[in-house]
Amino acid sequence: MNEHGHLAEFLQARRSRLRPEDVGLRTYGERRRVPGLRREELAMLAGISAPYYTRLEQGQSRNASREVLDAVANALRLDDSERAHLHTLAGAPRRHGPGARPRPERVTPATKALLAAVDGTPALVLGRRSDVLAWNRPGHGLFAGHLDPDSPNEAGGASDPSDPSGSGGPGRRPNMARLVFLDAHTRDLYADWPAKARAVVGNLRLTAGRYPDDPLLAALVGELTMRSREFATLWADHRVLACDVADYEMRHPLVGTVTVTQQTLQSPQGDGPTLVVATAEPGSPSAAALALLAHATAPRETDRPHRGAATRTA
């Protein structure tokens, strides 16, 4: 699906969710063949011509001004994240030839240093498609203690039919979207799993708008659509959600119920891996639970190299 298809589907989905009475339009009791507002009604609310809006919704207008897009966003009652998403979809560059396979995502030295600096706090590094590129010990213990702690070191791979959970395996990094929708442990981890699922899909929608020609992202969405009816339903809804900060109650098998604030820290350029950190209110039972988790996942004396021992080399 290219950027034109994303824009058309987004506008159609948002228009279908607005009823005439929501925006003060009188219908005089006539039967409507489609749900939501008609194109001409949306165009009237936005103050633009119906033919122009139709061309915009069909991806045939490539020069919509910021003012026009803001008018459409106001008519559709979009929030800030949805408004930004609309501008991204409408302004995406025209594709030239087949999309090249993206370069493998790596953890930069600066991000490694930041991950090491928060070693006592659960944290993980995610790529733009929600692949786990790295995690510290508490991060592994909180989010995916049932997985191999070294699995982020694997090179990302395609879907493995022998791995129905989508949780990783030989030659495949864990992926948080797959874990949320396909892994029973992760589903049980979140007390309000539907809220977490909506956040994951909303964030993937934003990413798809920024990178409409990413074949690996398209493959991930296709896989989840085929393997999870819940994902397919949420993806078809076209909601977008920027989850920079979110609170979740987690039912952890080791430390019990814990309420954490998950914060996503993005590089200033906005195109690199993100650092996700989980914290709890200081002095709260949840903070005590995270401290217990950090202690339980700390390296043991037997795991540390003996002083004077030779360094192991590959």
pLDDT at position 86, please? 84
Contact 266, 248 (CB under 8 A): no
**CA 50, CA 39: separation in Å to the nearest integer?**
7
Provide the pLDDT confidence category of residue 177 given band limits of 50, 70 and 90.
very high
Please report, rounded to a whole number, the percentage of residues in the chain having pLDDT higher than 70. Answer: 80
Q: Which contiguous run of DSSP H or E holds residue 256?
A: strand 256-265
Q: Which domains does the chain have, with CATH numbers?
A: 3-91 (1.10.260.40), 109-299 (3.30.450.180)
Contact 42, 75 (CB under 8 A): yes
pLDDT at position 126, please? 94
Contact 296, 141 (CB under 8 A): yes
CA-CA-CA-CA torsion for 273, 90, 241, 224, nearest 10 degrees? -70
**CA 69, CA 198: separation in Å to the nearest integer?**
25
Residue 80 burial by Cβ neighbours in a 10 Å radius (0-12, 13-18, 19+): exposed
* φ, ψ (nearest 5 deg) of residue 132: -80, 110
Question: In this predicted model, what pLDDT tens digit does every residue of 28-48 receive, in sequence order?
Answer: 556 666 678 888 888 888 888
pLDDT at position 15, please? 85
